[in-house]
Amino acid sequence: MDYGVAGTALASGILFGYVLEQAGFGSPCKLTAQFRLTDWSVFKVMFTAIIVASLGILLLQTGNYFGSKGFFVPTTFLWATVSGAALIGAGFAIGGYCPGTSVVGFMSGRIDGLVFMVGMVLGIFGFASVYDSALIQSILHSAQFTAKTLPQYLGVSPWLIWAVMVLVAIGGFALGRVLERRTHGVITAEDIVDETDPTISFDGEGSAVHGNLGSRAA
Partner 1 sequence: MSDGSSVRPLWPPLVAGLVLGLVLILTFVLVGNGVGASGTFASIAAWLGMQIAPAATQSNGYLGGMVAHGANPFASWIVVEVVGVAIGALLAAASAGRFKLKVDTGAGKIGVAPRLALALLGGVLAGFGSRLAAGCTSGVGLSGTAMLGIGGFIFLVVFFLVGLGMSALLRRVW
Is the Cβ–Cβ distance between 52 and 181 less than 8 Å? no
Q: How far is the CB of 196 from partner 1 (least distance, A)?
A: 6
Q: Using alpha carbons only, give the angle 55, 59, 65 rounded to the nearest 5 degrees.
A: 130
Out of 63, 109, 155, 211, the residue judged to bind partner 1 by CB under 8 A: 109
Whichever of 36 and 211 has its CB closer to partner 1, that residue is 36
> Quick one: CA torsion of 58, 60, 64, 70, rounded to 10 degrees?
-70
Contacts of 37 (CB under 8 A, 6+ apart): 179
180 binds partner 1 (CB under 8 A): no
Residues 6-65 that bind partner 1 (CB under 8 A): 6, 8-24, 26-29, 32, 34-37, 40-41, 44-57, 60, 65
Residues 113-172 that bind partner 1 (CB under 8 A): 113, 115-129, 131-132, 136, 139-140, 145, 147-151, 153, 158, 161-162
| Rg of the chain taking only CA atoms, in angstroms | 21
Q: How far is the CB of 62 from partner 1 (least distance, A)?
A: 14
Residues 62-81 that bind partner 1 (CB under 8 A): 65-66, 71-74, 76, 78, 80-81
Whichever of 111 and 217 has its CB closer to partner 1, that residue is 111
Whichever of 80 and 215 has its CB closer to partner 1, that residue is 80
> How far, in Å, CA of 100 to CA of 110, rounded?
14
> How far, in Å, CA of 103 to CA of 116, rounded?
9
